[in-house]
């Protein structure tokens, strides 16, 4: 009998190394991920959710919508979150961390985060690098414009903007401030300079809406974030996109965040780890023209030309103090409504 | 003689409870929270809220010409849409009642279509119709009637077209039900006494249609007052309505207390419209 007990103990000890693997069986559990719909959701399903489901037995459920909706959800569910992972804009991530809505980036929890370019994980993990450039009508700009060219008299009242608040709007204010010789910390000067461009032709709700008018020369230009804008432009011969140099394009990042106190923290960390992996980041770059944040991603020369993917490129970009910008949100929204749209 | 089954109060309470609990949970409680929230404030530079009682949000609305302007635009736009719907719906509803015969069901079904389609798809369709490069401007240009595109988007005209398209059924349906109850003999009697068609409309038909007109107008006015998708898309950021301001503050600025106050002001005007409608209906009831 003693011998049997001994064998049983030995067997248990020999199986011990397998226990962590058993503990990683998440069958019957669901990871909830908030993100944007369309191509981003498709790529995440293919490269992140699929492998994660196969590896863990868990189910990944996507909540699709705008990042503002997800911020609202996190605030509303602060004490009892139902979302585990959320994709946010760079201007929202530091504020979310400040409010303890998300878990601070930690390479011990998400090992692949160590491969992300230094200084990029601001508030959450940096998912992709894109820059604010100019989409322009080739009929009105025979040569790719610089920011200052937009202030020429003939283009007054021929701009289009994304609805404010947005990365595009904040970025454009920062550019206007630089053109006026100050920074975005001088909002009086920034708004006054931007108002010189006149009221926009429209605040667009879809890219097709603005591109159709720009292709026909009814809109001269629009500050837009690279990435899938570039993919969309392939359908419009009359529109170009440029990263200006003075000042350089505004760096914008999409961030992926682990929601604080969420029901499935381990699955959330595994999801983020896969999202930051070389494979996912390469797919983002190749299919969406989103610059990879993972420094180990290697792209062909042609692919690299369409995305921001080197530290040198990153340092040439205009970086905003997003924590300051987000603090001004209410005041700047009022100013935008009155001074830019309402002029 | 059959006796009414004796339903015990406890059974009634049990039958009503699920709906009552649902309504309390998903409507009454959030509404009360909305009321309370409108008297809180946003902590400057933060997503946090300060629960100290304040009237600052309401003061901001009534002291800022931008928000007052948005309220005024919303009110008169809603009035305009109601008037246009009434003018279009009166002859249409009467024609359906008097002349549609076998196709009546089909026509009423077609009238209801915008209501069951939701707001988004028809509005996006209208963008293609109304844009400077859209169907209407293209057709007018190809016929040589205009040289430059008519501005049909990003202004009151575009938003009105969208709202009329969306809410016309709300006017047609009450009117149909009212007109159906008017005996056709009244019209014939008036005409036999020498009344012209205009006089018949003014002195016989319109007064009899008033209950339907009041109900339809109230529905269209309230729906237009709170419409969000149509003004947002067809207004292209240039037509400021109260609903779009509330959305901007709630979902983009994340200033929920101020958004709640905007919502409360909108509710106040909905209530005023409802009270006005009830008073008119009561007056009509007494008159008849």
Reported as a single tens digit per residue, the pLDDT across B161-190 is 999 999 999 999 999 999 999 998 898 899
Average pLDDT rounded to a whole number, residues B264-285: 91
What pLDDT does residue A305 have? 84
Backbone angle region of B118, left / alpha / beta, with phi > 0 → left and psi within -120 to 50 → alpha? left
Verify that A226 and A156 share a domain, yes or no.
yes
Statement: residue A72 has pLDDT above 70: yes
Q: Are A125 and A113 in contact (CB under 8 A)?
A: yes
Verify that A227 and A277 share a domain, yes or no.
no
Q: What pLDDT digit, counting tens, does each position of B8-64 carry?
A: 888 999 999 999 999 999 999 999 999 999 999 988 877 788 999 999 999 999 999
Pairing of strands A125-137, A239-242: antiparallel
What pLDDT does residue A230 have? 84
Verify that A265 and A211 share a domain, yes or no.
no
Both tokens of residue B25? 């949970």
A330 lies in a domain?
yes
**Hey, are the CB atoms on A334 and B66 less than 8 Å from each other?**
yes
What pLDDT does residue A16 have? 41
Verify that A271 and A212 share a domain, yes or no.
no
**Hey, are the CB atoms on A342 and B66 less than 8 Å from each other?**
yes
Average pLDDT rounded to a whole number, residues A232-251: 89
Verify that A68 and A108 share a domain, yes or no.
yes
Q: Regarding the domain delimited by B56-287, which CATH topology (the fold level of the hierarchy) does it fall under?
A: MetI-like fold (1.10.3720)
Verify that A83 and A214 share a domain, yes or no.
no
Verify that A146 and A246 share a domain, yes or no.
yes
How sure is the predictor about B288, in pLDDT bands with cuts at 50, 70 and 90? low
- For the domain that residue A36 is a member of, what is the CATH number? 3.40.190.10
What pLDDT does residue B160 have? 97
Both tokens of residue A61? 């459920």
3-state secondary structure of A11: helix
Nearest to B174 by CA among B261, B275, B281, B247: B281
Verify that A197 and A336 share a domain, yes or no.
yes
Cα(A156)–Cα(A193) distance, integer angstroms: 12
Instruction: Using a pLDDT cut of 90, give the percent of chain A over it.
Output: 67
Q: Indicate the helix (H) or strand (E) that contains A251.
A: strand A250-258
B interface with A, Cβ–Cβ below 8 Å: 42, 44-48, 64, 66, 127, 131-133, 153-154, 232-233, 236-238, 240, 248-256, 258
Q: What is the overall mean pLDDT for chain B?
A: 92
What is the residue whose two structure tokens read 């090992």? A111
Cα(A308)–Cα(A128) distance, integer angstroms: 9
Both tokens of residue A291? 């610059």
Verify that A231 and A335 share a domain, yes or no.
yes
Q: What pLDDT digit, counting tens, does each position of A176-200 carry?
A: 999 999 999 999 999 999 999 999 9
Q: Are A155 and A197 in contact (CB under 8 A)?
A: yes
Verify that A154 and A218 share a domain, yes or no.
yes
Domain that holds residue A218: 129-251+319-341
Verify that A154 and A226 share a domain, yes or no.
yes
A2 lies in a domain?
no
Average pLDDT rounded to a whole number, residues A317-322: 86
What pLDDT does residue B2 have? 53
Q: What pLDDT digit, counting tens, does each position of B206-239 carry?
A: 999 999 999 999 999 999 999 999 999 999 988 9
- Residues of chain B with Cβ-Cβ distance to A161 below 8 Å are 237
Please report the ipTM that was assigned to this predicted complex: 0.83
Tally of domains in chain A: 2
- Residues of chain B with Cβ-Cβ distance to A337 below 8 Å are 66, 240, 248
Give the global pTM: 0.84
Verify that A152 and A234 share a domain, yes or no.
yes
Average pLDDT rounded to a whole number, residues A272-301: 94
φ, ψ (nearest 5 deg) of residue A66: -85, 160
Average pLDDT rounded to a whole number, residues B244-258: 92
**Hey, are the CB atoms on A202 and B238 less than 8 Å from each other?**
yes
Give the start-to-end residue ranges of the domains of chain B: 56-287
Total CB pairs under 8 A between chain A and B? 82
What pLDDT does residue A22 have? 41
**Residue of B40, B50, B121, B236 best to disrupt the A interface, most CBs of A under 10 A:** B236
What pLDDT does residue B19 have? 96
Pairing of strands A202-203, B49-50: unpaired
Q: What is the overall mean pLDDT for chain A?
A: 89
- Residues of chain B with Cβ-Cβ distance to A75 below 8 Å are 47, 254, 256
């Amino acid at each position: 009998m003693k011998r049997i007990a001994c064998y049983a103990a030995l067997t248990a000890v020999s199986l011990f190394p397998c226990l962590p693997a058993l503990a990683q069986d998440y069958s019957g559990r669901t990871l909830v991920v908030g993100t944007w719909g369309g191509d981003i959701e498709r790529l995440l399903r293919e490269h992140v959710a699929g492998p994660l489901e196969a590896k863990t037995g868990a189910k990944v459920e996507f909540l699709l919508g705008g990042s503002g909706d997800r911020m609202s959800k996190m605030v509303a569910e602060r004490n009892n979150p139902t979302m585990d992972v959320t994709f946010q804009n760079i201007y929202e991530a530091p504020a979310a961390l400040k409010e303890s809505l998300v878990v601070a980036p930690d390479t011990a929890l998400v090992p692949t985060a160590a491969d992300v370019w230094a200084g990029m994980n601001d508030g959450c993990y940096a998912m992709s690098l894109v820059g604010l450039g100019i989409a322009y009508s080739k009929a009105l700009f025979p040569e790719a414009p610089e920011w200052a060219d937009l202030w020429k008299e003939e283009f007054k009242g021929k701009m289009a903007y994304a609805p404010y608040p947005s990365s595009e709007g904040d970025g454009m204010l920062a550019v206007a401030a630089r053109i006026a010789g100050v920074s975005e910390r001088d909002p009086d000067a920034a708004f006054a300079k931007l108002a010189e461009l006149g009221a926009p032709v429209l605040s667009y709700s879809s890219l097709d809406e603005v591109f159709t008018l720009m292709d026909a020369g009814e809109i001269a230009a629009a500050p837009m974030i690279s990435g899938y804008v570039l993919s969309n432009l392939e359908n419009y011969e009359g529109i170009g996109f440029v990263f200006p140099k003075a000042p350089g394009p505004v760096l914008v990042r999409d961030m992926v965040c682990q929601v604080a106190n969420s029901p499935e923290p381990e699955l959330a960390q595994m999801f983020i780890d896969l999202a930051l992996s070389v494979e996912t980041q390469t797919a983002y770059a190749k299919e969406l023209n989103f610059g990879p944040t993972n420094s180990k991603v290697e792209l062909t020369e042609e692919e690299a030309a369409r995305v921001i993917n080197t530290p040198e490129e990153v340092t040439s970009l205009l970086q905003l103090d997003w924590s300051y910008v987000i603090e001004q949100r209410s005041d700047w929204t009022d100013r935008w409504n009155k001074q830019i749209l309402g002029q | 003689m059959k006796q009414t089954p004796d339903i015990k109060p406890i059974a009634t309470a049990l039958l009503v409870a699920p709906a009552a609990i649902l309504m309390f949970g998903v409507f009454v409680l959030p509404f009360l929270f909305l009321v309370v929230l409108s008297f809180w404030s946003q902590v400057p530079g933060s997503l946090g809220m300060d629960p100290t009682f304040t009237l600052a949000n309401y003061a901001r609305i009534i002291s800022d010409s931008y928000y007052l302007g948005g309220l005024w635009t919303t009110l008169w736009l809603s009035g305009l849409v109601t008037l246009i719907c009434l003018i279009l719906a009166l002859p249409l509803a009467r024609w359906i009642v008097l002349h549609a015969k076998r196709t009546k069901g089909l026509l009423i079904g077609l009238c209801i279509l915008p209501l069951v389609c939701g707001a988004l798809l028809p509005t996006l369709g209208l963008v293609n119709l109304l844009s400077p490069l859209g169907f209407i401007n293209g057709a007018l240009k190809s016929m040589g009637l205009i040289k430059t595109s008519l501005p049909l988007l990003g202004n009151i005209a575009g938003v009105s077209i969208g709202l009329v398209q969306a809410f016309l059924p709300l006017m047609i349906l009450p009117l149909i039900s009212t007109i159906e109850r008017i005996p056709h003999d009244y019209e014939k009697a008036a005409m036999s006494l020498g009344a012209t068609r205009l006089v018949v409309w003014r002195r016989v038909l319109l007064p009899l249609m008033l209950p339907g007109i009041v109900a339809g107008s109230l529905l269209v006015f309230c729906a237009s007052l709170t419409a969000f998708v149509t003004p947002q898309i067809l207004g292209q950021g240039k037509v400021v309505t109260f609903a779009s301001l509330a959305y901007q503050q709630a979902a983009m600025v994340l200033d929920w207390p101020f958004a709640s106050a905007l919502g409360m002001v909108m509710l106040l005007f909905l209530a005023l419209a409802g009270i006005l409608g009830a008073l008119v209906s009561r007056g009509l009831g007494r008159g008849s």
